[in-house]
Structures are given as structure tokens and as C-alpha cells.
Amino acid sequence: MESFNQLLLSLDGLLGSAPWFPWVLLGVGLFFTLYLGFPQVRYFGHAIKIVRGKYDKPGDPGDTSHFQALSTALSGTVGTGNIGGVGLAIFLGGPAALFWMWVTAFLGMTTKFVEVTLSHKYRVKAADGYYAGGPMFYMERRLNMKWLAVLFAIATVISSFGTGSLPQVNNIAQAMYDTFGLNKALTGGVLAILLGLVIIGGITRIAKVTSTIVPIMAVLYVIGALGVILYNVENIIPSFVAVFRDAFNGSAAAGGFLGASFAYAFNRGVNRGLFSNEAGQGSAPIAHASARADEPVSEGMVSLLEPFIDTLIICTLTGLVILSSGVWTEKHFNRFERADMVALAGNYTDEKPGDVKQLFGFLSGQPTEVETFNGSIVVADGRPLNQGEFTLINARSIAEDIEFRVGEDTFSGVLTVRDGRFANPNIEVWGNSLVHSVALTNVAFQRGFFGEYGSLIVTLGILLFAFSTAIAWSYYGDRSMIYLLGPRAVMPYRLVYVLAFFWAAIEDTTIIWNLSAVAIVIMTLPNLFGISVLAREMKDTVKDYWKDPSHK
């Protein structure tokens, strides 16, 4: 599994974490924002009226209402990215990462407007009687690029696991374990059964479930977040100052030893923003294709609300909770993930600038004198006896108060370490270190009016957010399977989807996040190419929409 994780990191380095990818994503959004005259601003009020049903007509083709389509698409975007993803972005990129998530969302409102409009325009009625749409249909029917459509559909199926299924249940299981001590396999098993019961009913059942869950989960999460932000009200302005200061002076300071340069904060902020709101990924058009509407532009306008709700509201609240509470720079007692942990030869401390510089270089992949530890660690009653021979790094910070366990019992004996990694598979390592992802957000929510009960809000939020995301992405995947192989492929896909959902509940968190990072990019690039080619048609389609007096 470690080698697989290294492969994912290498692929991510070539794709999502590569310096060019954020510029491509934001460049397309900026181009359409200027080309269409800031539609995310000019059409915002009109979009709200459409969702409320002001322009609905009896007999409009489709399977769901505008609100249900919006809820389904939102359930696909509002997930662990809003809770764990923000925590990971700030951990890796510092406060500046939140600023670049905002930029991604603002420009992404236009990108989503374009991709949904074009996809809705070329939707079809599938063999199962329901409407099907998405970038693969405009790629084939308008661009005559069947090969690109097939590539996108395959990437969507992969992303349904890497984005929609695996990281969602992984975060649910971790949150339930941290809060209630529930066995991860039990959590995964129960939720896998519930997931199967929902998705087997198709888009109509999915739309009913998501349109109920989304409003409830949003209200609960907002209340919980405000309970922390207002409790730390004196830190609100300093938090905003840190976000803008670090974004523009290029010297952000993330937790641990990884000083977040402009390039790093920019990259992580944009990538986490994409993971959260999916603008440009081409997933939302699949949900909006089911909406009852005879005007593609109207459904495109509905979709531009998604990045606003998902990122500019929910992700901002999460970011302010983490920053105002101050927990992102503190060490907390936690169980170390193997993919986050490495043992180094020698004794380092974060109180010596020279040590910090050396460790920064090692973690950043720069030439350094730091070497990984090879040898044995003698342990008595959970505590290492030869602590001075090695330094354990977890979550990019020096681990303190280390304790080795096997299940509930402390370990005594000798541990073998090869190239910084523990050879003993059954050993759990606990101690104080920085935390990230859901664990960071969970700690932050306990620093407010609700105290320790704040973790319950995070747990419930993750349960609802992530589960609804898994539901929505199962629909994206089965529409793609229908496009690729026909209706007969849907049921086998759903079975594999549910089984993978259960498997991911007990897998390593970091590996899951790395898998999702790769899956997102291989889906996004073909879609960005396609909508860019159709820029002129998009502009003409919008002009035609406003020629209708009833739309004024």
C-alpha cells in the first residue's frame, strides 16, 4: 500500500499539484468571466428567481425540479472537502490557501455556468427513460469527438470512486471513531447498506433524499461554525488579515516545517477549491441534466449558485473556525497515520532554527543532510528507550510524547524501522503532533460555545455531507456507465460502488485523499478543453436567452 501511495503522489505531482494546473483552471474561469461580462454577478438574482420556480412552465422536459437538481449537485459538492479539505488546505498552505479557494469559487461560478449550459443543451433521453447529460454528450454531439467523450466518461467513473465514494466514507468512519469510538468497519457496513437502498431507486429517489438532506445539514453546520467564530470574535479580523497578508506577501507560514510560499499556498488553495466546488470538473452538469427546463441557460444560471454556497459560504466558515480558534498551529494528541509518519536519524527539535531549516528542506524534497532512520527502537510499556537516536515526524511536525500500542494495550519489545518506516504492521503510534483534514476541523469546533459537543456537529456534518456526496456521485457514475456500456452496466457498477464504499471506511486517510486528487484532474482537463472550444456558441446561446421578453 505504501508503494501505491507513492505512485499516487507521483501522478499528483505531474497533474493536480503541478504548477501549471491551477493556472489552467483559473485561466478558463477568468476568460469566461470577462468574455461573458461577469455573469456570476449580473445573473445572481435571476438565478435565485429560477430556483424559486418563477419561470417554470407546465410540460417542461425533465425529471426533477430546479431546486432538486441544485440540491443533487450541491450534495455532490458539499462534502468532506468543506470540512476535511479546508483543514488540509490550511494545514499545507497556511491562511493564504483560503484566499485562493475564494478566487477559485468566484471564477468557478462562471465556469460552472458554462459547463452546465452546454451540457444541458445537448442532453438526451437515455435508454432507461430518464434524461442523461454531461460533458460527454456535447463532446460527441457537438464537437464530434467521440474519443474525448469516452475518455471523459471513463474519468467520471474513476472520479465517482476517487471523489464521491472513497474519501467520503473514509472521513465519516474516522469522525465516528474519534467521537464515539465506533468500529470503522461497522460504520462502513451500515452506511454501505443505506447507500445501496438509496441509489437503487435512481434519480427520482436520489433527488428526494438530497433535497431533504442538503438544507438540514447546511443549517446545522452554519450554526455550529458561528458558535466557534463568535466565541473567538476577537480573532476574526486578525484571521482575515492573515488570509490577505499571506496571499499577497508571498511568505505565508503553515503549520509544521513547511513554510507555505506563494506558489504552494496558491496551488493547494486552488486544488482544494476545485475538490470542494467541482467547478470545471464536469460533474454538476450530469445532475442538472435531469432538471425540467427547455432553456439550457436557465439551468446554467441555477448552477452558478453552487460555488457560492459551497465555497464562499461553507468553506469560509470552516476556514474561519480553524483560523480564529488557533488550533492549526497547535500539537494535539492523536493516532498517527502511517502515510503521514516518518522516522529520521538523529535528534531534532523545533526550537532550533537550524533544525527547522533542515527539516523544511527534507519535507520539501530539497537537498539536505537529514536522513531517514534505519535500525531498531527499544520500547518498554509503550515508551521508546532510545529516543535520542531518532526523531519521529508526523503531519509535518516533530512528534512528542510518543506511545506505541497494539490495539488497546501498550507495546513492549523491539521495533524494526527501514528507511524511516515501521516494519511492524500491527503497531499503532500515538502522540502529540499537528493534525489536518477532519481531525483539525474537529478540534477547532470544540473551541466555541458548544465546547466538546462541537465535535458532534462536525461528526453529524460529515455524516450528512459525505453520505449525500456519495449518493450524488453514484448517479454521475451510472450515467457514465450507461453512456459507455448501456443500461445493463448500471447494476454491476452500483454493486462495486457500494463495496468500495465499505472498503474505504477502513483504509488510510492520506492515501484516499491522494487518490481523489489524481482522479479530479483526469476528469477536469477534457471538460475545460471542450467548453473553451465552444466559447462562441456559449455567448450566442446566452444572447438568445435574453431575447425572450419573459426572461427579463
Residue 363 in domain: yes
Residue 142 in domain: yes
**CB distance 285 to 134 below 8 Å:** yes
Residues 251 and 123 reside in one and the same domain: yes
Residue 513 in domain: yes
Q: Given a cut of 70, is residue 23 above it in pLDDT?
A: yes
Domain containing 180 equals 45-330+444-536
DSSP one-letter string for 192-256:
HHHHHHHHTTHHHHHHHHHHHHHHHHHHHHHHHHHHHHTTTGGGHHHHHHHHHHHHHHSB---ST
pLDDT in tens, 32-61: 999 999 999 999 999 999 888 887 777 777
pLDDT in tens, 297-349: 999 999 999 999 988 999 999 999 999 999 988 999 999 988 889 999 999 98
Residues 118 and 180 reside in one and the same domain: yes
Residue 192 in domain: yes
Residue 237, burial from CB neighbour count under 10 angstroms (0-12, 13-18, 19+): exposed
Based on the structure, what is the number of domains in the chain? 2
Residues 395 and 448 reside in one and the same domain: no
Closest by Cα among 190, 229, 255, 161 to 494: 161
Determine the average pLDDT of the residues in 473-478.
89
Residues 197 and 346 reside in one and the same domain: no
Q: Given a cut of 80, is residue 145 above it in pLDDT?
A: yes
Residue 497 in domain: yes
Say which CATH number the domain at 72 has.
1.20.1740.10
Residues 109 and 121 reside in one and the same domain: yes
**CB distance 457 to 474 below 8 Å:** no
Residue 450 pLDDT: 92
Residue 21 in domain: no
Residue 439 in domain: no
Residue 426 in domain: yes
Residues 212 and 297 reside in one and the same domain: yes
Residues 231 and 309 reside in one and the same domain: yes
Residues 310 and 372 reside in one and the same domain: no
Residues 169 and 111 reside in one and the same domain: yes
Q: What is the Cα–Cα distance from 123 to 133, expressed in whole angstroms?
A: 4
**CB distance 140 to 149 below 8 Å:** yes
The CB density around residue 354, as the number of other CB atoms within 10 Å, is: 9
H or E element: which one contains 378?
A: strand 375-380
**CB distance 118 to 537 below 8 Å:** yes
Residues 482 and 408 reside in one and the same domain: no
Residues 182 and 317 reside in one and the same domain: yes
Helix (H, G, I), strand (E, B) or coil at 395: coil
Helix (H, G, I), strand (E, B) or coil at 334: strand
Measured CA to CA in angstroms, residue 104 lies from 83, 367, 495 at distances of 17, 33, 35
* pLDDT, averaged across the chain: 85
Residue 269 pLDDT: 65
Determine the average pLDDT of the residues in 201-214.
77
Residues 306 and 216 reside in one and the same domain: yes
